[in-house]
Amino acid sequence: MTLKIAEGVDPRWVRSVATAEGTWHVLDNQAVLDREPVGTLLCVHGNPTSSYLWRHVIAELSTGDRPWRVIAMDQLNMGWSSRTGRRRLGQRLDDLGALTDELGIQGPVVTLGHDWGGCISLGWAVNHRAGLAGVALLNTAVHQPPGSALPFLIAAARLPGLRRLVTATTPIFLQGTLAIAHPRLTPQVRAGYLDPYRGASRRGGIDEFVEDIPVNAEHPSWPALQGIVDGLPGLSDRPALMLWGPRDPVFTDLYLRDLRSRLPHAKVHRFEKAGHLVAEDAEVARAVRQWLEDDVEPRLPGSPAVPSHRTTDGLPEVIQRFLPDEARRSLWAPLETRAQDLSPALVEPTGHGSGQIGSWRTTTWMQLSGDVHRVAAGLTASGVKPGDRVALLVPPGADLTVALYACLRIGAVAVIADAGLGLPGLHRAIRGSAVKHVIGIDRGLLAARALRWPGQKISVGIAAGSARAKALGAGLALEDLKKVTLIDLPPAPAENAEAMVIFTSGSTGPAKGVVYTHRQLEGVRDALRSAYKLRTGSENPYDDDRFVAAFAPFALFGPGLGVPSVVPAMDVTAPRTLTASALAQAARALDATVVFASPAALANVLATSSALTADDRSALTGVRLLLSAGAPVPAELLTTLQGLLPQAELHTPYGMTEALLLTDVDLPELVAAGPGNGVLVGRPMPGVEIRISPLDADGRASRTETTAKTAVTGEILVRAPHLKERYDQLWLTQRETSTTDGWHRTGDVGHFDADGRLWVEGRLIHVIRPAGGFVTPYGVEQRIQTVPGVRRAALVGIGRAGAHQLVAVVEAPDAELGVAPLELAAAVRAAAGLELVAVLVTDALKTDIRHNSKIDRDEVGRRAAALLAGSRSS
């Protein structure tokens, strides 16, 4: 069969290598390298692909100051290599060894494998440790995890009478594999994979690979597989990398968890939108190069020193020096010191409808302390171990607080992913977090059952042993754990131990898990207390602060602060459900002095304020402090709100899931500053450092330069003792958003004014790039929002970056949808102060699913482009 050079393959890479076993088709970039390579990357494909899978990696590593020689072979009976007799796993290991001997490959060698090529590459690594410099894997497996079923697609393909039909006689197995690429492969790329397998006689190797999967100890290839598994501990001193496509229907996260248990030191990055063909779906080549530069090359003899980035081993020295000298105070310490206190710790509604509640449920400090201790004991007795991840699918209130603080006390890691992510987002979060236990209400357990989340299930609000609990797969109930006889708890977790994984809103891409250690969560609590002078521990408890927790990220800090809290009658995951009456009733229930709420929640409070009674308004006069975070807060909103909270200081802290408190500004300063290019978020809080990475003319942030100069627009970088530890299983994201000296790249853009205050101008990914410069959105949007009849506005760029056309999309409920009327369009253009190609009107700008405040500019831009292109569906 005539060899075809596929798209993306440099003909100079192509060579044939003969061994005693057969003739190999090999892609080898040695002929195109203009300098001595750092080492050799040995790439091994799986079934039913070929060396074509690695073309992007070869191209990436062929260039630069430190190139690598990349060798990617078609395994025998596969791709363009010779068709020989049956090759079982042990033979394939010998085959690969014979090929590398023939090529004369010397160390340093790094292996890279995918699918069954991952297993084979690890076998080669185990057998060639002397020259091995590292191992890297894409979706693969080395064993069927105990108690798990063979992947459905593989099991179906192995059915008697069906296997050869779908694998060799017809190209169904091959075409099915190519069909699950995300996005769909181009015809040229599909041809690159299909051409070597035209005709049933050339697909025999595909059939043999499926048959050679050793599913039990009786299979002929089992000893070879077990030998690979037994050798993996010997790779613990070599750098390891796992790049994963979570949308893979074959090698699911079950196999990733198994591999991580065998190579626990490996760096892991999950490309959330990628599937089985992760090398086609994601930027694998760039990730491999970055890992080689960071983890492999610095270990090689004669390599220049490369500064290492922040790892999972704790904070770099530059951050440690910011930490307070005072003795550590754990998050659960107030529960221990107030174990005999009969005053309220938590107050929550027992039921509500239309903003009205039936009654309030009060949990005292004594009860809360005892419940936390008993549930901690119960979790320990039920098998929850330090380091285990526990998903908490419970709305804010006493049950969630008890479950969270019990997990913290025994060293389990709480995974917080609220329902506002939507079921698909929640599924990605829980599935990707390697959760071993789920504590949830009925809806959470139903999702866990339907989506087959692993681990034991503990119900909240459902009696253990009931038909309902059995149907949901819950063998334990939180209420029963509260009755456990007290036992000795495990030692308190170390300050650098993982404490929590909190998921971002997902407003700018798939939600990311943010890992906090105990020390960092304690830092958030301490920053909150010191910045706002929260009063706790007074001789007279009435002198202490009491807060309304209407903002999910801070709803759980009350016990850690020692501050009583009340949850209003609302869905905390849907901020717009907070009404003025519900806020007032919550404030009255605890004589609250502090309110935490998001901008969307406060907007609805104002919208429903006409329903307030005289008693409601009186209850709100006791509030001394309002904090609103989660999105930019307009000064006009706060000014109007001041009428409802006449005694309160109104503050808007700036932060993000990765660093919850960074700057602060109050209403008087917002009003005095007036309009500007962006949103004023104030000055850094104590212990927080902020710098700017300037944007170039194309709107890209500098990767090397930082400044604190006035009026320089750039990406905002932050450094603080309460900054997150890392992103969970997102090694590349962590690498690209952190610097060697501890700065976190926030993805926000802004500038400092002459008074040292920070202004946020938008997200870096939303910077618009017309010809001749860049435009940040917030300042323009704020000017547009001064136009009568415009409630909100979004500025988006249509067309190609570098030639963006500016379009304003305004939320104007009284106008018809579509292109704005001439008078409104003229007013918007005048207010914007720059050239707009179109002004469009919508009745509701799409916002993020968590805070209901952040405009989804990507979606708004897509709809605007479709409308301007004449799409009816827009």
Higher pLDDT, 18 or 1: 18
**Which H, E and C letters describe 683-705, residue by residue?**
EECCCCEEEEEEECCCCCECCCC
Our CA dihedral for 20, 24, 27, 30, rounded to 10 degrees, sits at 20
Token representation of residue 519: 């020390």
Neighbour-count burial of 96, counting CB atoms closer than 10 A to its CB (0-12 exposed, 13-18 middle, 19+ buried): buried
3-class SS at 628? Answer: strand
Lowest-confidence region among 143-152, 204-213, 716-725: 143-152
Query: Which residue's entry shows tokens 């073309």?
Result: 55
Q: Which residues pair with 40 in a beta bridge?
A: 69, 109
- Amino acid 836: pLDDT: 95
Across 412-540, where does the E strand assignment appear? 413-416, 437-440, 456-459, 474-477, 498-503, 513-517
How many angstroms separate the CA atoms of 857 and 253, rounded?
31
Q: Which residues pair with 27 in a beta bridge?
A: 14, 72
Q: Which residues pair with 547 in a beta bridge?
A: 565, 594
| 460, 440 contact by CB (below 8 A) | yes
How many angstroms separate the CA atoms of 43 and 73, rounded?
7
Residue 865 has pLDDT above 50, yes or no: yes
3-class SS at 139? Answer: coil
Residue 816 has pLDDT above 80, yes or no: no
All structural domains of the chain = 11-147+217-299 (3.40.50.1820), 533-652 (3.40.50.980), 768-874 (3.30.300.30)
Residue 633 has pLDDT above 90, yes or no: no
- Amino acid 326: pLDDT: 47
Which DSSP string corresponds to 596-609? EE-HHHHHHHHHTG
114 secondary structure, DSSP code = -
Q: Which residues pair with 659 in a beta bridge?
A: 656
CA 86 to chain centroid, in Å, comes to 43
Residue 179 has pLDDT above 90, yes or no: yes
Our CA dihedral for 642, 643, 648, 651, rounded to 10 degrees, sits at -10
Percent of the chain with pLDDT over 90: 75
How many angstroms separate the CA atoms of 90 and 95, rounded?
9
- Amino acid 850: pLDDT: 47
Q: What is the band of 847 on the pLDDT scale with cuts at 50, 70, 90?
A: low
Lowest-confidence region among 271-285, 366-380, 621-635, 709-723: 621-635
Nearest CA to 539 out of 368, 363, 343 is that of 343
The H or E element spanning position 559 is helix 558-561
3-class SS at 272? Answer: coil
Higher pLDDT, 275 or 486: 275
How many angstroms separate the CA atoms of 836 and 828, rounded?
9
Bond preceding residue 183 cis, omega within 30 of 0:
yes
Nearest CA to 392 out of 434, 346, 441 is that of 441
How many angstroms separate the CA atoms of 861 and 744, rounded?
28
How many angstroms separate the CA atoms of 674 and 671, rounded?
5
Query: Which residue's entry shows tokens 């079982």?
Result: 88
The single-letter code of the amino acid at 2 is T
The predicted model gives 463-474 an average pLDDT of 92
CB-facing half-sphere around the CA of 850: CA atoms within 13 A = 24
Q: Please report, for residues 149, 343, 582, the alpha-carbon distance to residue 144 in angstroms, rounded to integers and kept in the order given.
A: 8, 54, 52
In degrees and rounded to multiples of 5, residue 523 shows phi and psi of -65, -40
Listed in sequence order, the residues at least 6 apart from 843 whose beta carbon sits closer than 8 Å to its beta carbon are 811, 812, 813, 817
Q: Which phi-psi region, left, alpha or beta, contains residue 21 (left: φ > 0; alpha: ψ -120 to 50)?
A: alpha
Q: Please report, for residues 269, 277, 335, 417, 554, the alpha-carbon distance to residue 401 in angstroms, rounded to integers and kept in the order given.
A: 31, 41, 11, 15, 12
Token representation of residue 286: 């760039």
Q: What is the band of 351 on the pLDDT scale with cuts at 50, 70, 90?
A: low
How many angstroms separate the CA atoms of 771 and 165, rounded?
56
- Amino acid 304: pLDDT: 64
Q: Hey, CA dihedral for 690, 696, 700, 703, is it positive or negative?
A: negative
**Which H, E and C letters describe 135-174, residue by residue?**
EEECCCCCCCCCCCCCCHHHHHHCCCCCHHHHHHHCCHHH
Our CA dihedral for 831, 836, 840, 842, rounded to 10 degrees, sits at -50
| 848, 506 contact by CB (below 8 A) | yes
Token representation of residue 855: 């405009």
Q: How far apart, in Å, do the first and last CA atoms of the chain sit?
A: 49
Structural Rg of the chain based on CA atoms: 29
Q: What is the band of 315 on the pLDDT scale with cuts at 50, 70, 90?
A: very low
- Amino acid 856: pLDDT: 82
492 secondary structure, DSSP code = P
Q: What is the band of 348 on the pLDDT scale with cuts at 50, 70, 90?
A: very high
Nearest CA to 673 out of 588, 758, 763 is that of 758
Token representation of residue 620: 């709100």
Our CA dihedral for 230, 231, 232, 234, rounded to 10 degrees, sits at 130
Nearest CA to 24 out of 69, 84, 68, 104 is that of 84
| 828, 836 contact by CB (below 8 A) | yes
3-class SS at 82? Answer: coil
Token representation of residue 551: 């903002």
pLDDT tens figures, 264-307 = 999 999 999 999 999 999 999 999 999 999 999 999 987 765 54
Bond preceding residue 151 cis, omega within 30 of 0:
no
pLDDT tens figures, 751-799 = 999 999 999 999 999 999 999 899 999 999 999 999 998 988 999 999 9
Nearest CA to 512 out of 728, 350, 310, 337 is that of 728
3-class SS at 54? Answer: helix
The predicted model gives 221-226 an average pLDDT of 95
How many angstroms separate the CA atoms of 849 and 842, rounded?
18
- Starting at the earlier edge strand, list the strands of the sheet with 654-656: 654-656, 659-664, 679-684, 758-763, 744-752, 714-719, 689-694
| 480, 378 contact by CB (below 8 A) | yes
Q: Give the helix, strand, coil percentages of the chain, each rounded to 5.
A: 35, 20, 40
pLDDT tens figures, 391-420 = 999 988 899 999 999 999 999 999 998 777
Nearest CA to 780 out of 701, 860, 851, 836 is that of 836
Bond preceding residue 233 cis, omega within 30 of 0:
no
The H or E element spanning position 399 is helix 398-410
Strand 758-763 relative to strand 679-684: parallel, antiparallel, unpaired? antiparallel
- Amino acid 574: pLDDT: 81
Residue 511 has pLDDT above 80, yes or no: yes
In degrees and rounded to multiples of 5, residue 84 shows phi and psi of -125, -165
Global confidence as pTM: 0.90
The predicted model gives 499-516 an average pLDDT of 87
pLDDT tens figures, 123-171 = 999 999 999 999 999 999 998 877 677 777 777 777 878 999 999 999 9
- Amino acid 853: pLDDT: 58
**Which H, E and C letters describe 846-872, residue by residue?**
CECCCCCCCECHHHHHHHHHHHHCCCC
Q: Which residues pair with 806 in a beta bridge?
A: 797
Nearest CA to 278 out of 250, 257, 254 is that of 250
Residue 193 has pLDDT above 50, yes or no: yes
